[in-house]
Structure 1
Amino acid sequence: MVDLPRLGMGTAALGNLYRAISDEQAEAAVAAALAGGIRYFDTAPHYGFGLAEERLGRALGGRSDVIVSTKVGRLLKPVEKPTLERHGFVDARPFEPVFDYSADAVLRSLDDSLARLRRDRIDILFAHDIGQLTHGDRHEERLREFIDEGYPAMRRLRDDGRVDAIGIGVNEVAVCLDLIERIDLDLILLAGRYTLLDRSAADRLLPACVARGVKVVIGGPYNSGILARPIAEGACFDYAPASDAVLSRARGLQATCDRFDVSLPAAALQFPLRHPGVASVIPGMASAAEVADTLARFAAPVSDALWPAVAEIPA
């Protein structure tokens, strides 16, 4: 089993999520993370359709003192004349992600990722975006393909030593509760479902993971940015403009943090790690400046009295 550090780096932004960044900015962000002691980096073929993996691989330069996780579940198919923005990624690589959880696709996806990352092996392999929220009417079909084909292939990769640990990387609780009853997972990467604003993983999923020894990595601790800065109109929550109700709750959280002289982003970053089931939190970072902000938030002193006060605000 992989011994995860408490703080890691998510790399969707290195794939030009929502806005394009330069190769130099991406490399500087990874360099700043390494200089700041960050040793866990999570990525995926979907992030910029290979761009994030390429940039991360180039920036890491084959270092052996880091933990890298990537994902399977999509294959990248070449496209001609791609539009500037696709699936939220701007000026990305000329590929289209196609869902495929078959055994062959798992192996092909991993080999392609290894080439982009310039690595011989991966520490952690996640199956990406299983679930009703992503697949809608095709959820059962995709889930069956994963359980029957993709998951056994991932287990063989772990048993053969090509990866150290396997799991799922998702942003919904229901599929996690389903799968931990049916298959053996080492980890779950859960985005946005255990935060100051959304604690839907708290009641059932996190206790179940503790009971089964499944480690949880929390992505999206800022819920698409609403908790990353002072609350303002137009803030995003879960990849869309926040509703009035969400904005109201966020302002309540900010006011509570202000009472305890704690920044809202620092509280948002540190909150998930208070649960014994959470091994690591991996906020996205797109620049050296964002890395510096993250490290400062992670180290910021937070009064123990803040947490029960925050808990009184419904999530």
Structure 2
Amino acid sequence: MIRKQDNKVQNKTSEKGTPNPTPIDTIVLVWNWPWGEHFALDKCTEFGFHGCKLSTNRSLYGIADAVVIHHADIMHNRNALPKQPRPSFQRWVWNNLEPPLIITNLEMLDNLFNATMTFRQDSDIFIPYGQIETMKESRNFSIPKKSKLVSWVVSKWYPGVPRISFYEELNKHIPIDVYGKRHKPLRSEDFHQTISQYKFYLSFENSIYKDYITEKFWSNAFGSWAVPVVLGTSRENYERFVPGDSFIHVDDFPSPKELAEYLLELDKDDVKYQKYFNWRSRYYVKALSGWSYQYCKACAVIKQSPRYQVVHQLAKWFLKDV
């Protein structure tokens, strides 16, 4: 059998001698393990993605339909990119789930990539940190018992970013239990059980950026059944992905003091507080973390869509909303 680079089919000959084109696997080359984290390459069918082959075997470069390159692992070394010219049929996929605060050296990648894989909804391959799905039928639910008020888990204390100054002011008006480095210890296996005891969780992003809504919101808050108090992109941006009555946005209040007063008011009013859970009768949260799922989804998108957007200047595209 011959792999044809133009139409990506294998030609088999029927009993009557007539070629029968049949689909073949879409090959996605995992150029570098993201953040050095290895993941299973054989899970695509388990996620419902068929006809996909993930591989780290660089000898497949010449026939791979796509090469996914994780930015953080090459951003300080352009020589870590493939040395061979890109075949005309192949996509180089720029993979990045970090905000501009974290990444650098985008300019060195001009005119190299022809597909994007990020948390931005306008990416070729959209990889959100989570999403909600509509239920076929409404369901009843019970809210975990709440005995505590506000919590926050933070591992990176970036000085000067808005979430730090906002927390420091908010903490003057309402008690906040902070977990993570330099604060209360919290084992990962105890995370959801611990945070579910709190009525509110500070889903404060380290960057305010379009579509950047991370596990702080999806897994930490929603996954623990705490009402998210969000600091990040705009309310309008959040409402593109979740109902407006599922979270509290800091921008809805003139100051941290007024926000604290509102949270204390909800603490005393069970009926008003419980309205932030009404959406759960119609939707459920689907966490989308895990590299295996993300790379399989990339393969499926590439397999289904022959079109892509050429990004001549990654910095111009990615930084346009900063």
TM-score, shorter chain, exceeding 0.5:
no
Larger gyration radius, structure 1 or structure 2: 2
Structure number with the higher helix fraction is 1
Calculate the TM-score normalised by the size of structure 1.
0.31
